[in-house]
Amino acid sequence: METRPPLPPFTLETAIQKVRLAEDAWNTRDAAKVALAYTPDTKWRNRAEFANNRAEAQAFLERKWNKELDYRLIKELWLFGENRIAVRYAYEWHDDAGNWFRSYGNENWEFEANGLMQRRFACINDMPIKESERQFHWPLGRRPDGHPGLSQLGL
């Protein structure tokens, strides 16, 4: 049986850890690796797009990161209880024409007992920004431990 610690029921400490692990994984932009954190029958709503299993979630992520270039993400715990976590997040990216965006969103997550995410519901808004307005400047990949989070950045 696949497991993905930390496992529910979540404490404040384990919920924060789960959020950071998700952020770290998404910042790899490795769709196949990220998809392994979800149950084979995962259900997603991301904006107006739906995924009904792990393969569809992986295909979604591949499309996403082919469009959203130089993607850098910060997630922050909003609320948790039992096997559910709510997060808020922001990420910066540019399109293939060099237009920069900061995308703001909220996600609701529900986990199976094995720590894999069964359901993910995301609401996201994109705000055009100038390249000079970017705030996420770390090298591609994991956000460094010393880099401010959303609250520290005033986002």
Tell me the pLDDT tens digit for each residue of 70-120: 999 999 999 999 999 999 999 999 999 999 999 999 999 999 999 999 999
Alpha carbon 2 to chain centroid, angstroms: 20
Segment 53-68 shows an average pLDDT of 98
Burial 43-68 (b: 16+ CB within 10 A, else e): bbebeeeebebbebbbebbbebbeeb
What gap in Å lies between CA 112 and CA 133, rounded to an integer?
39
Residue 40 has a pLDDT of 97
Domains and CATH numbers, the chain: 12-153 (3.10.450.50)
Work out the mean pLDDT of the chain and round it to a whole number: 97
* Local structure of 25: helix, strand or coil: helix
Residue 79 has a pLDDT of 98
Q: What's at 83, amino acid-wise? A: N
Cβ neighbours of residue 137 under 8 Å, at least 6 residues apart? Answer: none
What gap in Å lies between CA 108 and CA 106, rounded to an integer?
7
> Which of 81, 67, 129 is CA-nearest to residue 104?
129
pLDDT above 80: residue 1: no
Segment 52-71 shows an average pLDDT of 98
Percentage of the chain modeled with pLDDT above 70: 100
Strand order in the sheet with 84-94: 49-51, 38-46, 117-129, 100-111, 84-94, 69-81
Q: What's at 80, amino acid-wise? A: F
| Contact call for residues 89 and 46 (beta carbons, < 8 A) | no
Residue 4 confidence class, pLDDT cut points 50, 70, 90 = very high
